Structure 1
Amino acid sequence: MNEAVRNPAKPTPGPTKGPIIEIENLSISFFTRKGEIPAVMDFSCTGRPGEAMGIVGESGCGKSTVSLGIMRDLSNIGKIVGGKIKFQGKDMGELSDEELRSIRGNKIAMIYQEPMASLNPAMKVGQQLMEVPLIHDKVSKEEAYKRALDMVRSVKLPDPERMMRSYPHQLSGGQQQRIVIAMALLSKPALLLLDEPTTALDVTVEAGIVDLVKGLGEKFGTSMIFVSHNLGLILETCDRITVMYSGEAVETGKIKDVFDRMRHPYTQGLFRSIPLPGADKNSRPLISIPGQLPLPHER
């Protein structure tokens, strides 16, 4: 047999794609009657194509504010006061309102921690799902229905046709969250932001949602930023991690690198406070992190 047939030449790899999202020295403040309250200070991280980045930290550390800053959804009192957010190489601070609207919900989608806050209680689930391809892709109603039904099947909901005919209040919390995930993925976003998507769910439902998100990320090649205070969840779902403490990123890197060599006392404290199944509480007690975070305006 010809040598070239036995050992075909390997295809030459194409150019390496750059980061999907680059956050450089981001600072976000909220301006209230009491003055400026810094929520995020000098925060940097990078998300690559098909990669899941976890942002972990306790309540009030600013992790959700980072994801809202990416979406430019900071209400009228929040403002980015420093740094840059680049999406697919473009500085989002230089985009017009119209360009931002075309990116939000289309190229960047967000899943919030309370599913009912994302669903209209007066509209059937199918109508709400169909709005995404109707608005963003300008397809026919028949095509929009087909895409929505296919995505309901992808998120492993039983009896998809009945789900499409249901109102949100007729579904359980876990089913509602799966519908919200389906809605976010219908536009095939390049970046998916998940803001504590399992907080409102019980542990068994949470495990199913985590497996679902991991599988869908691999299937659609979507980059993800997973915001959570649950370190176990981040270890299970993400490739890289950024640990936030009091508005700042104190440690970042690949999951294995960070947890093989935890440098910051807060990361070490987080790791020691994870309950292990079957562990003897006397020989391995959970160690709480002492002290209290300073108030944002007293940092």
Structure 2
Amino acid sequence: MGEVYDGPILEIDGLSISFFTRLREIPAVMDFSVSVKPGEAVGLVGESGCGKSTVALGVMQDLGVNGRVVGGSIKFKGRDLSQMSSAELRQIRGSEIAMIYQEPMASLNPAMRIGQQLMEVPMIHGGMSKREAHARALQLVTDVKLPDPERILKAYPHQLSGGQQQRIVIAMALMSEPSLLILDEPTTALDVTVEAAIIDLVKDLGRKYGTSMLFISHNLGLVLDTCDRICVMYSGEAVERGSIADVFDGMRHPYTQALFRSIPLPGADKTARPLVAIPGNFPLPHERPEGCNFGPRCDYFVAGRCDQGAIPMLDVPENTRHATRCIRHD
């Protein structure tokens, strides 16, 4: 580890990512900024297709052949990831930044026993001995609350349930004690009771290991429950950013408000607070409107103001930690 770094673990500043087809450039993420401090959990929320997974792939520098960062920067512990060699990136990806994907089986090798897969990480990246790695694997399988850890380590992935597989994937991600854990919809493939258990688990492990987390989800309830700060994304842009309390108590973007109205919150009275769908449709990346992306679906839209040029993130008065991309936020 060497010297102690005390700035943000992850700092994304003005990030723009596009995908290039033969015909056109399709902007997937525009002018996106968010930071994650040491030991902090930041939630990234938005509908499918808003660009949140693209941000995660940008952090992992894994945008494929067609994807490219066309503006802004992604810094990890103060160093720009785009300036690193592929060898440095490999080292960081394996040991310092870990990612948990939606589908646990995508991260597990069906032909290898669970124990071998877990031990591989610290033995390759951390130079651990086989005995140390086995002890650490046993510890983590216990930490992720799986029964009979010894038996689990000898099992193959197909012998475990979906929830157990996802716990193994979490254990695998934590094997090398990463500074940053990215969770991309980690509970999509699981049923609700398993989901709740996995979320509690992630919270506990985050506290135990002091891991910083970027938690990507379309489920607002989950993010409110797990994170310290939240960033709401719509159509490739951040539209609201702040602490959970700031955003929950004083939502300043019409999309955030609409998102809250359209989800069932725990303990809410369904008759007193009926769910309201957001009218209209999400704009396609190459058909975004002039001005505010949310304009065509917004109750507060004012022609001549909201459709004039790009709208910046603005600080909410009296609170520099809370920002929103709405010129009528008051």
Partner amino acid, structure 2, of 1:52: A
Counterparts of 1:109 and 1:255 in 2: how far apart (Å)? 24
| Cα deviation digits, residues 25-62 of structure 1 (max 9, x gap) | 00001112332111100000010000000000000000
Residue 109 of structure 1: SS of its match in structure 2? strand
* Distance (Å, rounded) in 2 between the aligned partners of 1:263 and 1:181: 34
Question: Given that residues 221 and 265 in structure 2 are in contact (C-alpha distance below 8 angstroms), is that contact kept between their aligned partners in structure 1?
Answer: no
* Structure 1 consecutive aligned stretches of length 4 or more whose deviation exceeds 2 Å: 276-284
Aligned partner of residue 94 in structure 2, secondary structure = coil
Return the offset for 1:16.
Answer: 9.1
The yes-or-no answer on 1:294 pairing with 2:283 is yes
Structure 1 equivalent of residue 293 of structure 2: none
Distance across 1 between alignment mates of 2:141 and 2:5: 33
Instruction: Name structure 2 gaps, 5 residues minimum.
Output: 289-330
CA distance in 1, matches of 2:278, 2:43: 21
Pick closer, same or farther for the CA change 1:276–1:20 going to 2, 3 Å: closer
The 5-angstrom pairing of residues 171-186 of structure 1 reads 171-186=160-175
Matches within 5 A, 1:89-104: 89-104=78-93
Q: 1:205-224: CA deviations, max 9, x gaps? A: 00100000000000000000
Which of these residues, 240, 249, 265, is aligned with residue 229 of structure 2? 240
CA distance in 2, matches of 1:128, 1:158: 18
Task: Find the aligned partners of 1:230 and 1:296 in 2 and give their Cα distance.
Answer: 22
- Aligned counterpart for 1:230 among listed residues 214, 219, 229: 219
Aligned residue identity for 1:29: S
Within a 5 Å distance, the mapping from 1:118-267 to structure 2 comes to 118-267=107-256
Match runs of 1:45-60 below 5 Å: 45-60=34-49
Structure 1: distance between partners of 2:74 and 2:123: 29
TM-score, scaled to structure 1 = 0.93
Distance 2:243 2:266 in 1: 25
1:252 and 1:210 map into 2 onto residues whose CA distance is: 22
Gaps spanning 5+ residues in structure 1: where?
1-14
Mapped partners of 1:102, 1:276: distance in 2? 41
What's the counterpart of residue 26 of structure 2? Answer: 37
Q: Secondary structure at the match of 1:123?
A: coil
Change (3 A) 1:45 1:278: closer
Which moves more between the two structures, 58-67 or 34-43? Answer: 34-43
CA separation of 1:96 and 1:272: change in aligned 2, threshold 3 A:
same
Q: Which amino acid aligns with 2:216?
A: V
1:149 & 1:259 partners in 2: Cα distance? 39
Secondary structure in 1 aligned to 2:68? Answer: strand
Q: CA separation in 1, counterparts of 2:262 and 2:67?
A: 32
Paired residue type of 1:19: P
How many angstroms apart in 2 are the aligned matches of 1:127 and 1:276?
41
**Whole-angstrom CA distance in 1 between matches of 2:219 and 2:11:** 24
Aligned to 1:12: none
Higher RCO (CA-CA < 8 Å; seq separation 6+): 1
Q: How does 1:42-121 map to 2 (within 5 A)?
A: 42-121=31-110
How far is the alpha carbon of 1:278 from its aligned partner? 5.9
Name whichever of 134-143 and 176-185 sits farther off: 134-143
Query: Which moved further from structure 2: 98-107 or 47-56?
Result: 98-107
Instruction: State the alpha-carbon separation in 1 of the partners of residues 134 and 270 from structure 2.
Output: 52
Structure 2 CA distance, aligned partners of 1:127 and 1:140? 13
Total equivalences in the alignment: 285
Is 1:21–2:21 an aligned residue pair?
no
